[in-house]
Amino acid sequence: MPVPTHKNDPSNPTRRRLLQAAALTLAAAACPLPLLAAAPRSRLILLGTAGGPTPKPNRAAPAQAIVVDGVIYVIDCGNGVARQMVLAELKLDAIRNVFITHQHSDHNADYGNLLWLAWAATLKTRVDTWGPPPLKEMTRLFLAMNDSDIQTRIADEGRPPLAPLIVPHELTTAGVVMQDERVKVTAALVQHPPVVPSFAYRFDCPDRSIVISGDTRPSDNLITLAHNADVLVHEVMYMPALDRLIASEPDAKHLREHLLASHTSAEQVGRVATAAGVKTLVLSHFVPGGLPAISDETWRDAVRPHFKGKLVIGRDLLEL
């Protein structure tokens, strides 16, 4: 016959369960559940990842958006950038700064159009624009060219004057470009002959650093700018496909010389990222970037032997 136990006896089953529950409660209080990770304050969206001046069926023209606390910083304005922003579900009236890396048509073709179309939508606030000369003259001429439409919409739709909203700043030297409560932007001179000056930009955000290479051959200045950056978005060229790319060009020899002198091969991109010590390398501005497309595996295999960090093969509208 079982020996009866008193209710306060530790061997009592009910008493034992109560003690175990109390122990678990104390342990939970001493070791609270980990806090949920804070949402990142910065977003990087690759709006267009093609390289070169001709429109491509499978990739949009070069452009990136960095969004910090809902405020948009656009880097380069290739053809169709406003539509790419809409496809990325970015608000055009949240643009506050636009940066041009260099004055080549695949990077500046829609500089004016982006701001004009944003204003035709809902933009009513100032936008500062930054880039090499002749940025001020480009802005003036664009506004003059479209003055009829602008004045019509001011009178007919009650929109504010557009010209006072666009404030261009011309850059000719490296250094800190601008700084606000969200980001510090620093420029470095890179080499993209014959276009001078050409810039790369570094965005030091509250939660990470992002570098956009612009168009460049391997650059020591870029390596210094990107030192220990969290993300480097770098142009890339696949050498074995160059001959196919330029086969139909009337001056193939000259184009080949330009590409070799002004851009960075896949092998060189990997070496640049390694020298800079970046954590994540994002390939973009693909040359060739049209059809027939080069597979992601081909790009990855060309870069991977020279860079051991995280490697991302960019595509239009990819967010990181």
Please report, as a single letter, which amino acid is at residue 79: N
pTM value is: 0.87
Instruction: Please check whether residue 11 lies inside any domain of the structure.
Output: no
Q: Are 29 and 40 spatial neighbours (Cβ–Cβ below 8 Å)? A: no
Instruction: Please check whether residue 155 lies inside any domain of the structure.
Output: yes
**Looking at residue 1, what is its pLDDT?**
45
Q: Would you say residue 219 has pLDDT above 80?
A: yes
Q: What is the span of the domain harbouring residue 57?
A: 42-319
Mean pLDDT across the chain, nearest whole number?
91
Average pLDDT over residues 114-130: 97
**Looking at residue 252, what is its pLDDT?**
75
pLDDT in tens, 288-319: 999 889 999 999 999 999 999 999 999 999 99
Q: In this structure, which long-range contacts are made by residues 169-175, counting pairs with CB atoms below 8 Å and at least 24 apart in sequence?
A: 169/128, 169/129, 169/130, 169/135, 170/131, 170/132, 170/133, 170/134, 170/135, 170/136, 171/130, 171/131, 171/132, 171/197, 171/199, 172/132, 172/133, 172/197, 173/197, 174/199, 174/221
Average pLDDT over residues 219-235: 98
**Looking at residue 11, what is its pLDDT?**
53
pLDDT in tens, 55-81: 999 999 999 999 999 999 999 999 999
Number of domains in the chain: 1
**Looking at residue 40, what is its pLDDT?**
83
Instruction: Please check whether residue 315 lies inside any domain of the structure.
Output: yes
pLDDT in tens, 155-190: 999 999 999 999 999 999 999 999 999 999 999 999
d(CA 65, CA 43): 8
- Residue 233: CB atoms within 10 A of its CB come to 28
Tokens linked to 89: 């579900």
Average pLDDT over residues 128-134: 98
Binned at pLDDT 50, 70 and 90, residue 18 comes out as low
pLDDT in tens, 235-285: 999 999 987 877 767 777 788 888 899 999 999 999 999 999 999 999 999
Average pLDDT over residues 87-110: 98
Instruction: Please check whether residue 282 lies inside any domain of the structure.
Output: yes
Q: Are 299 and 270 spatial neighbours (Cβ–Cβ below 8 Å)? A: no
**Looking at residue 288, what is its pLDDT?**
93
Q: Which helix (H) or strand (E) holds 258?
A: helix 252-262
**Looking at residue 27, what is its pLDDT?**
47
Q: Strand order of the sheet with strand 231-237?
A: 175-179, 184-192, 195-204, 209-212, 231-237, 280-287, 310-313
* Bridge partners, 201 (sequence order): 187, 212
Question: How many residues are given for the chain?
Answer: 320
Instruction: State the CATH number of the domain containing residue 163.
Output: 3.60.15.10
pLDDT in tens, 1-15: 444 455 455 455 555
Instruction: Please check whether residue 98 lies inside any domain of the structure.
Output: yes
Instruction: Please check whether residue 290 lies inside any domain of the structure.
Output: yes
Instruction: Please check whether residue 2 lies inside any domain of the structure.
Output: no
**Looking at residue 33, what is its pLDDT?**
44
Average pLDDT over residues 217-225: 98
Instruction: Please check whether residue 84 lies inside any domain of the structure.
Output: yes
**Looking at residue 270, what is its pLDDT?**
98
